Amino acid sequence: MYRKNSMLEERPISPDSIQLLHAGMNHSVRLSASEKIASQQQLDYYYAVVKKQILQFQSYTTGLFPRYSTENNVGYVRDSLYCAMTCWALSRGYLRLNDDQGRYYELGQAAVKTMRGILLCWMRQSDKVENFKRVHSAVFALHSKFNLLTGEAVEGTENYGHLQIDVVALFILTLVQMITSGLEIIYTTDEVSFVQNIVFYIERAYRTPDFGMWEMGTRYNDGTPELHASSIGMVKAALEAINGCNLYGSKGTVGSVIYVDIDAHNRNRTTFETLLPRESNSKNVDASLIPTISFPCFAAHDESLHHRTFAKCIRKLKGKYGFKRFLRDGQFCVLENPNRQFYQSGETKLFQGVECQWPMFFVYMIIDGVYMGNQHQKQSYRIIIIFKLKVFITSVLILDLRSCCQAWARDFSYGAKRENLIHVSDIDPSYRHLPANQRPKVDNRHSVFQGSLTNPVLQIAFITESQKLQTMLSTYGITTQTLHQVEPVQIWSPGQMVKVFENLGKNVRLQLSGRPNRPLGALGTSKVYRVFGETVLCYPLLFDVQDFYLSSDAEVLIDDIKRDLKFIECRWQLAGRPTICLLLTEDLVCGEHFSKVLNLLVDLKSGLCNGIRVRVGRLQNLLSAGCLEHLDFAPQGYSVDFIPEPMREVKSMSDYSSLSDLSHCLMEAVTDKDFDVEPFKTQPTEEIIATLKNLPKAALYTQCRRVVRYCAALLRKVVDSLAPSITSILVRGKRLTVGVFGGEEVIIDSPVTPNVIEEELYRVCFPHDILACVLQQELIIVLGHFISVEPELFIGILKVRIGTAMQQRQLNGSLNRVPPDFFEHMWRTLERTSDGIVVATHHLPQQPTLSDMTEYELNFALTIDELLSRIQIPEYRQIMVELFVVLSIILQRNPELKFNKKVDMDKLISKAFGYYADDKKLTDRQDMTPFYELYPHLFGGSSTYLAKAVINDLLSIPTDSVDSKKQLSCDTNCRLS
């Protein structure tokens, strides 16, 4: 694809041509005549290089680029994007010099041709986009490579990992940057609709395992996708960039604006920040994170996260000639078998220490140094590229990488060399390298990400469903408004707004249905919307009783309101204040928790609630400072009518002197009514279902929560926020099991869709315990909340067994908690047991376990956790954990000892219990409860007996020849500290 000699040419840079790169956004810097001539010469030189080594390989039909010079039929989307970015960046340099040779336009149009070529290739696969919105399967993934001339698909999903969400996100991000710079890429409304749909395509990246930047999935290269921090980070950056972007540029109309689900963006942001500095379960560190947190994505603006991730990549991946992609990477390695697509089990062990090194990441480090203003970093890596790589480029070591380096690496090399010819804002016109609160303010009638230096003030409007309730609350000094008093503002349910959003991106010609039926989250309902000329505010999903029965519980609802207010304060990044509608119903207020509801309203009225600054007032007075979103995509004549459903009053509230009297009357009205089950035996199913839907409302008045849960389980209800809660648990390296204790347990180790959750939950729970179907949902919601706000509570836990926790067994065993450094103990133990270990009749071999994995890899920890999970009794599991620690310490202190046979851990525990039973003269040798109750580390504790069993097994001392009582009399010999 290029001549190596031409790549090595180093032209001297005249001091006159060096511009102050860190002039940043100051575009008014003028060049002297000599500087302009020198810069012109340099640009002309790079123009010749780009023409010869890049543009000559661009397809004249599709605009795509091949990956290697030897490929004449296949164009790769990822490589084409970077080639387009190179041409575009060089064109920006010519624009700055006010070039009159036409090269600015030529290079810009080359980039446009590539971007449009990718877009048109994907538009031919609009059916895949439509299917992927419903089922996040690799089968429906947009392809990542096409025929270079025709743009047709060249390889199916069964032979190649096309599901590369980071590629789609990078396309969107590059599209926004180029449009912002003035290029015209999108021509028609069909193309606008398609771009909107690929935004929907990537929004759920936080729970969609893909094949990642290296197109191979897990580190084992076995065709299995996994969640990648780099993919999620690129999606986060793309969503931030395109929100409110007009695809027609400055000439656009309201119909060419792209909308982003702010709640989906926040879930991607949370997941990304949680995963860092780890890339995935199998890759503890990966060089793909460098372009994710730096140029071109700038997905991490948290200084601590940025520093920790960079430091980890440098510490573990940096080599003499470049960065390793990840540890035990076999691509292009001399030991790799090029005739096999996938690796065999244990094969990655061969590549340890001989991984290829990729010089292109040195260029990334230079660019990062430029953007971060780190002169030392920029100069040190520049020296490496100029001298070290120039000297060794003809050595056998480098030539073995392939006859042609990736176009990708070469393109970035040119971009780095041009650092003195363009400003940072030239190739980042959206100013993504700056935090949101430091970017130039954009005058946009649509919401854009625009952070503030401080947490926002939350605006809250109290809306009552009836005048009677309003009058009652006014006696306590709480000023509210009814639905009629807020007119002309309309109050909608989240479901009604979702119906409007279904028109977003809808296109009959492309057979695209528009936005999927996804509920609006807490951030989405904090916007004020302009729809059909009307001003609309949605009440939060918390108040939607159709969602799940939890919203009918006043005490739970109060806690949820406080949690959501804190969440909105921390995560709000839009221009304008969040405006929240609290819908006060008689169900909520007129009950046993009235005092708690009143205290909440009083706290909010005071202006400070749990440390959160709030402003309570009339809704009409709050609109001017709120975040306003114009929904211009809704078709003319389309309308949604809001029909409130107030609670049916038993009697007029005025007939009762107090709220307690009203509550007592409601209780009598429900309990005194005879219930006849006979008519239901002949009623159709639809009427029975309708009764089940209404029954929980009556059951709440009697505080019969069992009936509420039972009805929800019979109706197979699933809470909408269940999938995000599961994802919150998984991205922190934990796994979850659902099921009933003693029955089947299903392990959830990767993000799943709500439909899959419903199917698995009701399949394993319903036959054994109907209530468990909904109780476990409650537990998952609580766990998801706690792991988000207090992750330290879950230290040492890799798997949470929901079914066991419901039985109130031993807490540590239920939570699968292990001590610090436990998995390091397990690694050392496996190294000294040639035939592996046996737990609960399951054998874990030494090989290929140690060959496939590394000591600090999350997958190794999950493998050990899976082994321990075969133990159903939590107390016994904790004894097993203790035994592993004891065994590891003994082996560590006695390096001459090792096991030459399989180590049956259950037999060792049985021996230890036998020693304890002999010592205590127990007659019942079946009940191990007394052994479970021993303190581990005291003299005569469980560790003493476990250590004795291990030592005797290591020394092969027959059990019957040992006087256990004498052995235990020596307290220091069998004691572990």
Does residue 581 fall inside a structural domain?
yes
Do both 401 and 515 map to the same domain?
no
Give every CB contact of residue 849 below 8 A, 6+ residues apart in sequence: 830, 836, 860, 863
Separation of alpha carbons 363 and 385, rounded Å: 8
Residue 272's CB is within 10 A of a number of other CB atoms, namely 27
Q: What is the DSSP letter of 481?
A: E
Does residue 11 fall inside a structural domain?
no
- State the Cα angle at 528 between 563 and 558, rounded to 5°: 20
Distance of CA 158 to the CA centre of its chain: 26
Do both 697 and 804 map to the same domain?
yes
Do both 937 and 953 map to the same domain?
yes
Do both 423 and 462 map to the same domain?
no
Separation of alpha carbons 355 and 327, rounded Å: 7
Separation of alpha carbons 383 and 712, rounded Å: 67
Domain interval for residue 53 = 33-438
Per DSSP, the three-state class of 246 is strand
Peptide bond into 488 cis (omega under 30): yes
- Model confidence at 818: pLDDT above 60: yes
Do both 541 and 413 map to the same domain?
no
Separation of alpha carbons 801 and 820, rounded Å: 20
Does residue 224 fall inside a structural domain?
yes
Tokens of 620: 């009409």
| Of 621, 654, 687, the domain-final residue | 654
The β-bridge partners of 817 are 797
The β-bridge partners of 458 are 614
Task: Name which of 185-194, 354-363, 557-566, 685-694 the model is least confident about.
Answer: 685-694
| Mean pLDDT to the nearest integer, 492-516 | 91
Residue 403's CB is within 10 A of a number of other CB atoms, namely 11
| Mean pLDDT to the nearest integer, 651-672 | 44
Do both 480 and 597 map to the same domain?
yes
Q: How far apart are the first and last CA of the chain?
A: 64
Does residue 659 fall inside a structural domain?
no
One-letter amino acid at 134 equals R
Among 35-39, 669-673, 891-895, the range with the most confident prediction by mean pLDDT is: 891-895
- Model confidence at 473: pLDDT above 50: yes
CATH of the domain at 405: 1.50.10.10
- Around 165, how many Cα atoms within 13 Å sit in the side-chain half-sphere? 35
Pick the closest to residue 559 from 525, 593, 590 (CA basis). 593
Do both 54 and 166 map to the same domain?
yes
Angle, nearest 10°, between helix axes 407-417 and 360-372? Answer: 30
Do both 536 and 625 map to the same domain?
yes
Do both 640 and 786 map to the same domain?
no
Does residue 7 fall inside a structural domain?
no
Separation of alpha carbons 518 and 499, rounded Å: 10
Does residue 311 fall inside a structural domain?
yes
**Rounded mean pLDDT of the chain?**
80
Q: Which residue has the tokens 């180790």?
A: 749
- Model confidence at 536: pLDDT above 90: yes
> Burial letters for 802-829: b for 16+ Cβ neighbours within 10 Å, e otherwise?
bbbbbeebbebbbbbbbeeebbebbbbb
> Burial letters for 277-304: b for 16+ Cβ neighbours within 10 Å, e otherwise?
bbbbbbbbbbbbbbbbbbbbbbbbbeee
- pLDDT at position 976: 40
- Number of structural domains, the chain? 4
| Of 654, 688, 718, the domain-final residue | 654
The β-bridge partners of 746 are 738
Which ranges of 432-493 would DSSP assign to H, the alpha helix?
467-474
- pLDDT at position 129: 96
Give every CB contact of residue 256 below 8 A, 6+ residues apart in sequence: 186, 189, 192, 246, 247, 248
| Mean pLDDT to the nearest integer, 897-926 | 86
| Mean pLDDT to the nearest integer, 479-491 | 91
What would the DSSP string read from start to end of 465-525?
SSHHHHHHHHTTT---EETTTTTTSEEE-HHHHHHHHTTTT-BTTTTB--S-S----TTGG
| Mean pLDDT to the nearest integer, 672-692 | 66
Give every CB contact of residue 79 below 8 A, 6+ residues apart in sequence: 65, 66, 67, 406, 407, 408
Interval 214-245: pLDDT, tens: 999 999 999 999 999 999 999 999 999 999 89
Do both 320 and 406 map to the same domain?
yes
- pLDDT at position 786: 83
SS3 content of the chain, % helix, strand, coil (to 5): 50, 10, 40
Give every CB contact of residue 807 below 8 A, 6+ residues apart in sequence: 741, 814
Higher pLDDT, residue 744 or 118: 118
Interval 921-940: pLDDT, tens: 887 778 887 787 776 665 67
Among 196-205, 400-409, 631-640, 804-813, the range with the most confident prediction by mean pLDDT is: 196-205
Interval 298-331: pLDDT, tens: 999 888 999 999 999 999 999 988 999 999 999 8
Tokens of 714: 């019979």
Do both 791 and 825 map to the same domain?
no
> Burial letters for 735-756: b for 16+ Cβ neighbours within 10 Å, e otherwise?
bbbbbbbeeebbbbebbbbbee
Does residue 530 fall inside a structural domain?
yes
One-letter amino acid at 124 equals R
- Model confidence at 445: pLDDT above 60: yes
Q: In what order do the strands lie in the sheet with 799-801?
A: 745-748, 735-739, 799-801
Give every CB contact of residue 421 below 8 A, 6+ residues apart in sequence: 17, 19, 39, 42, 43, 93, 96
Confidence of residue 407 (pLDDT cuts 50, 70, 90): very low
Does residue 974 fall inside a structural domain?
no
- State the Cα angle at 285 between 85 and 328, rounded to 5°: 100
Separation of alpha carbons 265 and 278, rounded Å: 20
Q: Which residue has the tokens 């988000």?
A: 788
Among 20-24, 99-103, 969-973, the range with the most confident prediction by mean pLDDT is: 99-103
Do both 775 and 879 map to the same domain?
no
Separation of alpha carbons 765 and 290, rounded Å: 44
Confidence of residue 654 (pLDDT cuts 50, 70, 90): very low
Q: Please answer whether residues 617 and 497 qualify as being in contact, where contact means their C-beta atoms are separated by less than 8 angstroms.
A: no
Confidence of residue 64 (pLDDT cuts 50, 70, 90): very high
- Model confidence at 393: pLDDT above 50: no
Confidence of residue 197 (pLDDT cuts 50, 70, 90): very high
Query: What is the percent of the chain with per-residue pLDDT over 70, rounded to a whole number?
Result: 81
Q: What is the DSSP letter of 286?
A: B
| Of 788, 813, 838, the domain-final residue | 813
Q: Please answer whether residues 828 and 893 qualify as being in contact, where contact means their C-beta atoms are separated by less than 8 angstroms.
A: no
- Model confidence at 973: pLDDT above 80: no
One-letter amino acid at 354 equals V
One-letter amino acid at 333 equals C
Element (H, E) at 613: strand 612-616
- Model confidence at 574: pLDDT above 80: yes
The pTM score is 0.78
- Model confidence at 492: pLDDT above 70: yes
Give every CB contact of residue 312 below 8 A, 6+ residues apart in sequence: 277, 285
